Chains A and B, each alone.
Chain A
């Protein structure tokens, strides 16, 4: 082959660069999840009660569940846009390992949406009167949690890529798998609110993230091969 030979690393970053370009060329892809996140979080005070004491207890859960739903909302288009214009076939036909490319897609999705959610989380926490000593815990737990959500949700996105109106099905498939992430994430914030030590929760979240980083791309690659095969 010619000298123009790419190692895995370069393809990984070229896919991420491509997807980020796509994300910033269609601002809706970044802005919509953040807008959704703000709206969901501001529904709770309207729905429950605006008083400070109650809200500060619920703040951690609301911020986390909002982030989870926002990630799920944006995951639907992760592979669907590629499937619609035929580039998913090119992804599968690349000599580079598919799990690596799947990881690149998920990483690009996290950079485009996950980070944006993490940056807006403090604003929401303020609105929901989250005690200030819990802010670091919230940011750290979201920093570990959102990539995990993209990874696990990616499996559901791959399985439902060719299903018409697969968005709801994607939620149905992914939510049960999000339970451990949610438990450890909100647990970290809650124990920070109570002034207790929260590194244990973050360690568990980190362990789950490592497992997800290793296993989820394999599952996504397998799902893509199976679904596109039909």
Chain B
């Protein structure tokens, strides 16, 4: 479904990774490990389509991303470093506009059930500004049990989440994979009970020749 062909990324003259080729099939979870600053977030932003500044190709359902952009958008859920949650709005209002943006309509009842699953039962009407950082992230993560996106791209979802939250999140990931979903995740956490279909890659192993700060001479005609 999602195939990367010799993907390479360079930011501010620093080669983050190069010729990263991998194929993610339905029912698989790809865990990307790497030290801070090794380009994990950049890779996820490239996969999500937020950044088009990369070498190589990304194929979705066999075709190049640029050809199937709309379909790719419809079937992708992206969770970034900062949870896209408005402080002045309540969790319910936040989930409404986020679902609307993803072209999904959710009934009040579905939203309340999702919030309940992330332990935000009593907090539905509290403006998110008054919630803790962990709770705010859980409001964003509550979307996971609501969205129909096939491909989940999650950037460090386990940070600032308590033990109970971690268990819930792992169960959601497991359920998503079992019904042929796909997950790309960056996390330092060892995913215990879904080790069956987990594929791990370390970003440092794709960093290209060490100390290669000399670029090919006649290359570089393009931005």
Direct touch of chains A and B (CB < 8 A): yes
Q: Interface digits, A10-41 against B, CB 8 Å rule (1 contact, 0 not)? A: 11001100100110011000000000000000
State whether A229 touches B51 (Cβ < 8 A). Answer: yes
Interface on A for B, CB 8 Å cutoff? 1-6, 10-11, 14-15, 18, 21-22, 25-26, 84-87, 89-96, 101, 228-230
Q: How far is the CB of B136 from chain A (nearest CB, A)?
A: 9
Residue of A nearest to B98 (CB): A90
Residue of A nearest to B127 (CB): A25
In the complex, which residues of chain B have a beta carbon less than 8 angstroms from the beta carbon of A229? 50-53
Q: Which of B81, B85, B102, B127 has the most CB of A within 10 A?
A: B102
Q: Which of A3, A15, A90 has the most CB of B within 10 A?
A: A90
Q: How far is the CB of A205 from chain B (nearest CB, A)?
A: 33
Which residues, 56 to 72 on B, are CB-close (under 8 Å) to A? Answer: 70
Given contacts A25-B127, A87-B84, A89-B78, 13 further A-B contacts (CB under 8 A): A4-B105, A6-B104, A14-B96, A15-B101, A18-B97, A21-B89, A84-B82, A85-B86, A86-B84, A89-B48, A90-B102, A93-B78, A94-B102
- If A86-B80, A89-B80, A90-B101 touch, whether A25 touches B148 (CB-CB below 8 Å) is no
What are some 23 contacts across the A-B interface (CB < 8 A)?
A1-B148, A11-B101, A18-B97, A21-B89, A21-B93, A22-B86, A85-B84, A85-B87, A86-B80, A86-B81, A86-B82, A87-B84, A87-B85, A87-B86, A89-B50, A89-B78, A90-B98, A93-B76, A94-B73, A94-B103, A95-B102, A229-B53, A230-B53
Tell me the complex Cα distance, A1–B103, Å: 10
Complex partner residue of B89 from A10, A25, A90, A96, CB under 8 angstroms: A25
Tell me the complex Cα distance, A93–B96, Å: 16
**Is the interface on chain B under 10, 10 to 19, 20 to 34, or 35 or more residues?**
20 to 34
State whether B103 touches A86 (Cβ < 8 A). Answer: no
State whether B73 touches A93 (Cβ < 8 A). Answer: yes
Residue of A nearest to B87 (CB): A85
Residue of A nearest to B100 (CB): A14
Chain A interface main SS type: helix
In the complex, which residues of chain A have a beta carbon less than 8 angstroms from the beta carbon of B53? 229-230
In the complex, which residues of chain A have a beta carbon less than 8 angstroms from the beta carbon of B70? 95
Tell yes or no: B83 within 8 A of A by CB: yes
In the complex, which residues of chain A have a beta carbon less than 8 angstroms from the beta carbon of B113? none
In the complex, which residues of chain B have a beta carbon less than 8 angstroms from the beta carbon of A92? 50
Tell me the complex Cα distance, A10–B51, Å: 27
State whether B103 touches A6 (Cβ < 8 A). Answer: yes
Tell yes or no: B199 within 8 A of A by CB: no
State whether B83 touches A86 (Cβ < 8 A). Answer: yes
State whether B84 touches A5 (Cβ < 8 A). Answer: no
Tell me the complex Cα distance, A92–B100, Å: 13
- If A21-B93, A93-B73 touch, whether A26 touches B88 (CB-CB below 8 Å) is yes
Q: Which of B73, B76, B101, B104 has the most CB of A within 10 A?
A: B101
In the complex, which residues of chain B have a beta carbon less than 8 angstroms from the beta carbon of A89? 48, 50, 78, 80, 84
In the complex, which residues of chain B have a beta carbon less than 8 angstroms from the beta carbon of A228? 50-51
Complex partner residue of A5 from B51, B81, B103, CB under 8 angstroms: B103
State whether B48 touches A2 (Cβ < 8 A). Answer: no
State whether A4 touches B73 (Cβ < 8 A). Answer: no
Tell me the complex Cα distance, A86–B96, Å: 16
Instruction: Please name the 9 residue pairs, one residue from A and one from B, whose CB atoms are nearest each other, closest first.
Output: A86-B82, A4-B105, A87-B84, A25-B88, A95-B73, A14-B100, A94-B101, A86-B84, A18-B97
In the complex, which residues of chain A have a beta carbon less than 8 angstroms from the beta carbon of B101? 11, 15, 90-91, 93-94, 96, 101
